[in-house]
Amino acid sequence: MQINYLRTYTFCPHGLVILIFSLLLISCNSYRPNNSVHLEGAYLGQKPPGLVPEAFAPGIVNTEHRDHNAFFSPDMSEFYFTRRDVKSGKWSLIVFKSENDQWRESIVGPRLGRPLISPDGQIMHLGKLYSERTESGWSEANSLGPMFDREDWGIMRLTASAKGTYVFDDYKSDDVLRISIIKDGKRLAPKKLNSDINSGKWTAHPFIAPDESYLIWDSEREGGYGDSDLYISFRQENGSWSKAINLGANINTEAREASASVTPDGKYLFFNRTVRPGDGDIFWVDAKIIERLRPDY
């Protein structure tokens, strides 16, 4: 089994400290990949759901561990998610890769931020860090630079569009979402999204569509179904964002729904559901639920 690990950069008042997470660190995690299960076909060989969410790959992806934050690579040949081992308490980034029509599981390395892959498949965003795709896996993790590496910002998840627009959360600033666009070839300083998006509590974990037609995030707010719910805002013709729309009772429950992503083929919405503190499973549902909410302009 090949394990690709990341060199991570952590920042402190005394300067840059480089910590190399070696294979020894990964081996301390009691979780081990299981390649004895034969998986072939699209979506790890799982039967696609309808408009009612279903747990994804029970016993394979959803296990006794805490499984979160699922996403596919743009070519749909890699499926990533994060896992917190119930015995060791350590978080790992797991990948299933489709090779010779069979999916095989391996550990990428320790979890950094809430990872997502850019629409071109070449960058993995890791909160305020990023890693570049290499021939053997992923490069060392690098800082996005001083515009994002601020001590007063707490970035958990950063999502990118095909145009290079960034949307990210900030748990150190009253749980807000910020957006940074590219104009005339230059990245502009991040700005807070509108007050309707940035309302409620625990606003976090954004996902922007590659074409920027919509934005999904989670938040706990008045009129919701209990704990954090998933919300969506659609891009309007004038470039502004529509009023936040709750994804509804088919998706949201009294439990905590969070960390959504849509498959690159646009067919399925993935998200976390946490019924009890400390646990969590990955669910998927037909993405037609999104189109049913899209306003007619």
Q: Which amino acid is at 24?
A: L
Whether residue 35 lies inside any domain: the answer is no
Any residues with CB less than 8 A from the CB of 10 and at least 6 apart, and which? 17, 19
What's 88's domain CATH number? 2.120.10.30
Whether residue 261 lies inside any domain: the answer is yes
Q: In 3D, which of 252, 249, 251, 255 has the Cα closest to residue 285?
A: 251
Q: How far apart are the first and last CA of the chain?
A: 51
Any residues with CB less than 8 A from the CB of 81 and at least 6 apart, and which? 61, 67, 68, 69, 70, 71, 93, 94, 282
Q: What does the DSSP 8-state code read for residue 161?
A: -
Confidence (pLDDT) at 279: 74
Mean pLDDT by 10 residues, the chain (297 residues): 38 36 40 73 96 96 92 98 92 95 94 96 97 95 95 97 98 96 96 95 97 97 92 94 95 96 98 82 96 84
How far is residue 267's CA from residue 108's CA, in Å, rounded to a whole number? 26
Whether residue 289 lies inside any domain: the answer is yes
How far is residue 54's CA from residue 49's CA, in Å, rounded to a whole number? 6
| Residue carrying the six token digits 């001083």 | 146
> How much is the pTM?
0.88
| Residue carrying the six token digits 């060791």 | 88
Distances (CA, A) of 42 to 16, 71, 96, 229, 265: 42, 14, 12, 28, 11
Whether residue 56 lies inside any domain: the answer is no
Dihedral sign computed on CA atoms, order 56, 61, 63, 66: negative
Whether residue 39 lies inside any domain: the answer is no
How far is residue 116's CA from residue 3's CA, in Å, rounded to a whole number? 19
Beta strands 142-143 and 158-160 are unpaired
| Tally of domains within the chain | 1
Confidence (pLDDT) at 27: 40
Whether residue 268 lies inside any domain: the answer is yes
97: containing domain: 7-30+61-293
How far is residue 54's CA from residue 45's CA, in Å, rounded to a whole number? 14
- What order of strands is seen across the sheet that includes strand 54-55? 54-55, 281-286, 268-274, 256-262
How far is residue 14's CA from residue 12's CA, in Å, rounded to a whole number? 5
How far is residue 136's CA from residue 147's CA, in Å, rounded to a whole number? 30
User: What is the DSSP track for 67-128?
Assistant: EEEEEE-TTSSEEEEEEE-TTT--EEEEEEEEETTEEEEEEEEE--SS-EE-TTSSEEEETT
Whether residue 37 lies inside any domain: the answer is no
Distances (CA, A) of 249 to 85, 156, 200, 269, 285: 30, 26, 18, 15, 13
Whether residue 218 lies inside any domain: the answer is yes
How far is residue 124's CA from residue 116's CA, in Å, rounded to a whole number? 6
